[in-house]
Structure 1
């Protein structure tokens, strides 16, 4: 769903394989202080962008080391591939969008969430502020760039319905994920379906125009977004204890990064050749920090989930047709390994 997916066709197959496969991270190392650490791999949902700052900050501040973890962070190639690689044991843990987790489990993929951190969806309609769009009703007659089959396009009809609109009130133009920003900048479409924590800041920086948003969550439709996932290999035997430590380390890293957003973003320097400019990273992370909680988890540590919020998310995607056979919350979320509220 990210604009940078244009790079998919340009990345050598060897790099793609390295991002998703390779050494599963099992084994140990020794820290500079002589502490024994468990080697752990984490595959992101995409190339590093602002949302991922806490992982790099946690490494820099030795938070993962404190919890006995020697963390290797890998770029991803989309949440679906991250879910598959994590389930297959090609990565110890993954960072992936909850809709991809739900769809994967629906298809029999053995993966579970250890906690969703972006609990307010960044899904939104994005446009240049000069368009004068203030409410969903202002979308009537507009052409919007969307990608057929993705979570944004699948849930957009529900967003319209909740705001008294029908699908015929707007035109969704099927657009490759990498082309959505260009479509709006060129005027081919009036807006795009994207993530407020990703495409918006990038589009604003490229066009040097203010970007406005109609966030799904602010107009009657919320569901879980990105979080930490693991396959059976990481949840059984001796690795189960590592998983619990990983959950704590990730939550602590997010807490630390939230308190120091500037240094957290700075810790990403050199993380990837595709890293967005620092100003874009900062705006992405600022927006990300507004997505960490629902009303039920406000004031709790990052990554603490509730069964009710999980059920709401499952219901949304069942209605959208992305989950054909909805299961019990416990089939998607490992509450025994996850943080307790």
Structure 2
């Protein structure tokens, strides 16, 4: 039998170094393989007030949390909810009231909101400044238009009930989102549904001055003190991937703080995705959204991202009664604050 000869030390060192290098080379592949994939659908086409999602993606904040996030454009704040409920997406940004509606009808399918952004109700009915429509009741006998997926349109039955409108006397017509302001300007409709920010900037892009040419009948001024757009996840995904949800929220919250501090940086990320946008208009839209849609006084107390349970419960009751829903979801069914970063790490003041 040939006697066993020990391996020369130089050869052993070479083999050990090779194994170490091979292991190091595989680390990025291993990390990539372990990343949790999240497909997210936005509320609308690319625009300024989505900057924080893009910053979290571009600066690697999602990646640092072990996430591989893909972000798609949306088709309306209410339209993103069924896309997540169906399983086509794991996450979305859209109208919390559509989540409440689905939670009442099909609770097992309804997504769960985890971070509230639009804490002031942006829902509105828009008329021209010289319109004879002065109050909600004046809408009777008139034609009001809006995209089929528009959240304000979907909330109209509730608004009508609260304000004493006979909804059967209001003619509602649908149009493509890009035609809304044009049809109003040309008197093809008497009024339109929409978000204050969206309509204002779409009108401005047409050469109108929304402060002079338009009037806004805001739902919040007539008792519908509702929350609006939030980040939400599929219910099953929340149950099966709690660490991924918490990581996503952490990354997003960090990006929001940075965009608030440096809006121009946020606009760089937006323009990277859609170079044909008008940068100055989108920056103005971003700042307007921060002031108008995200600065409810409650954030000084509870911080951006959270909700007031009493206010949310009241909002749920308004929707259930106004839309004659068969079941009243609890606040905990539609919003889960357990994934939020600590209070002192979330914005308390946006300006």
Scaled by the length of structure 1, the TM-score of the pair is 0.75
Which residue of structure 2 aligns with residue 118 of structure 1? 118
Q: Distance in 2 between matches of 1:63 and 1:257?
A: 13
Which residue of structure 1 aligns with residue 298 of structure 2? 296
Which residue of structure 1 aligns with residue 226 of structure 2? 223
Q: Distance in 1 between matches of 2:268 and 2:141?
A: 42
Tell me whether 1:246 sits opposite 2:248 in the alignment: yes
1:270-315 deviation digits (Å, cap 9, x = unpaired) = 4248x64334422332232122243433354421122223212212
Question: Equivalences for 1:1-341 in 2 at 5 Å?
Answer: 28-29=31-32, 38-79=36-77, 82-105=80-103, 106-107=105-106, 108-129=108-129, 131=131, 143-146=143-146, 151-156=151-156, 158-159=158-159, 166-167=165-166, 171-178=170-177, 179-210=179-210, 211-237=214-240, 239-272=241-274, 276-289=277-290, 290-298=292-300, 300-321=302-323, 323-339=325-341, 341=343
Quote the offset at 1:155 in angstroms: 3.5
Distance 1:219 1:41, change over 3 A: same
Q: Distance in 1 between matches of 2:295 and 2:209?
A: 29
Quote the offset at 1:185 in angstroms: 1.7
Quote the offset at 1:232 in angstroms: 3.4
Match of 2:320, SS state, is: helix
Match of 2:306, SS state, is: coil
Q: Which consecutive residues of structure 1, in runs of 5 or more, have no partner in the other structure?
A: 1-26, 31-35
Which residue of structure 1 aligns with residue 15 of structure 2? none
Which residue of structure 2 aligns with residue 6 of structure 1? none
Structure (1 or 2) with the greater helix fraction:
2
Highest CA radius of gyration, 1 or 2? 2
Quote the offset at 1:88 in angstroms: 4.4
Match of 1:197, SS state, is: helix
Quote the offset at 1:42 in angstroms: 1.8
Quote the offset at 1:197 in angstroms: 2.2
Q: Conserved in 2, the CA contact under 8 Å of 1:28 and 1:37?
A: yes
Quote the offset at 1:268 in angstroms: 0.7
Q: Which consecutive residues of structure 2, in runs of 5 or more, have no partner in the other structure?
A: 1-29, 344-351
Distance 1:89 1:170, change over 3 A: closer
C-alpha RMSD of the superposition: 3.4
Quote the offset at 1:102 in angstroms: 1.8
1:239-280 deviation digits (Å, cap 9, x = unpaired) = 21111111122222222222222331231114248x643344
Distance 1:93 1:147, change over 3 A: closer
Quote the offset at 1:123 in angstroms: 0.6
Q: Conserved in 2, the CA contact under 8 Å of 1:28 and 1:38?
A: no
Q: Distance in 2 between matches of 1:173 and 1:90?
A: 30
1:133-192 deviation digits (Å, cap 9, x = unpaired) = 7776887886532467864235346546666x6347984442325342222021122431
Q: Conserved in 2, the CA contact under 8 Å of 1:202 and 1:280?
A: no
Count how many residue pairs are aligned between Structure 1 and Structure 2: 307
Quote the offset at 1:316 in angstroms: 2.2
Q: Distance in 2 between matches of 1:231 and 1:141?
A: 41
Quote the offset at 1:236 in angstroms: 2.9
Q: Distance in 1 between matches of 2:148 and 2:246?
A: 37
